[in-house]
Amino acid sequence: MVTVYVYILDTLADWELGHVISELKSGRFFKKDAQRIALKTVSCSNEPIHTMGGMTIVPDCLIDDIVVNETSVLLLPGADTWSDRKHGTIIEKASEFLSLGATVCAICGATVALANYGLLDNRPHTSNGIGYLDMFSPCYEGKNHYIDKPSVADNNLITASSAGALLWSKQIIKHLNVFQSSTLEYWYEYFSTGEPKHFFALMQSLSSNDE
């Protein structure tokens, strides 16, 4: 079983996590032999957090409860509160994840937190623009590794801009290998274009998976 830890913090950007957590939790489009996924929310305290959209979430566990191995995944969503020093502990944990070969997925404001810790200095990555990282992370030294795309996957590090949530979700799902490749492509095409033909192709790919 793979454990996906979702870090939650006040002002969490609800929409950035929507696609990926709903698919990993429901498993509705998983291939037959897909590994099981355990999804856990994690925070720096037991206190409930309040998302940007006004949702209240009570964490399943604390940072100290995280078990890191090569198959573990850490999702770091965007939020307006990443500058609070109390979140430094999860970034230290993210560094541990990367060192052990576990996967870290950061989007929007969370990329600044990684940049502040030097975790983007030597790896391909993206964010809301180089200027954004320069503005909010004075110690950022990863310009030569910045890729101007909505989402960038570099082995066990997947980063995205605030507008790249869908592609970020696709890359995370691909990394976990829980969809058939055709299912993943049709899933992405449908949610990125809204064209009905991709929805029917998505459903058909599931039927072929059952044969």
Assess whether 108 carries a catalytic annotation: yes
**Angle at the Cα of 94 from the Cα atoms of 93 and 100, rounded to 5 degrees:** 90
Contacts 24+ apart (CB under 8 A), 58-65: 59/8, 61/5, 63/89, 63/90, 63/93
Q: Which of 44, 61, 108, 139 is catalytic?
A: 108
Q: Which two tokens stand for residue 58?
A: 């009570």
Q: Is 126:180 a contact under the CB 8 Å cutoff?
A: no
Distance (Å, rounded) from C-alpha 71 to C-alpha 90?
18
Residues catalogued as catalytic: 108
